[in-house]
Amino acid sequence: MKKDLNAFIIRPHITEKASMKAEGGVYVFEIASNATKAQVEKAFEEKYKFSPVKVSTVTIPAKNVFVRGKRGKKSGYKKAYVYLKKGDKIETL
């Protein structure tokens, strides 16, 4: 049974740092917490029609925060850095 590959890549992770990396051919995506590098690579190929050179994953832990006198928790997530060949560009927005 084939899994739905679109479930692994949730959304592009758009920050100032990610935008700077995108100029160098490295794109950042928020991914499912159970996704592996191989699954992210296959999902990326299916969605964007480019074969990545390398995929790195990073798990961002949940953090306790204190805002306006109230305690809270920022949920953690997992993100993937997708490295493309020189000259390959994707439109993330």
In one-letter notation, the amino acid at residue 82 is V
For 5-47, the pLDDT digits (tens) are: 788 999 999 999 999 998 999 999 999 999 999 999 999 999 8
Note the pLDDT of residue 5.
78
Q: H or E element: which one contains 74?
A: strand 70-74
For residue 44, what is the enclosing H or E element?
helix 37-48
Q: Which domain holds residue 32?
A: 5-83
Question: What's 49's domain CATH number?
Answer: 3.30.70.330
91 domain residue, yes or no: no
In a domain, 90, yes or no: no
In a domain, 25, yes or no: yes
Q: Tell me, what amino acid is at 40?
A: V
How many structural domains does the chain have? 1
Give the pLDDT confidence of 44-88 residue by residue, as tens digits.
999 888 899 999 999 999 999 999 999 999 999 999 999 998 888
Using CA atoms, how far residue 77 sits from 23, 24, 47, 48, 58, in Å, is 24, 24, 21, 22, 9
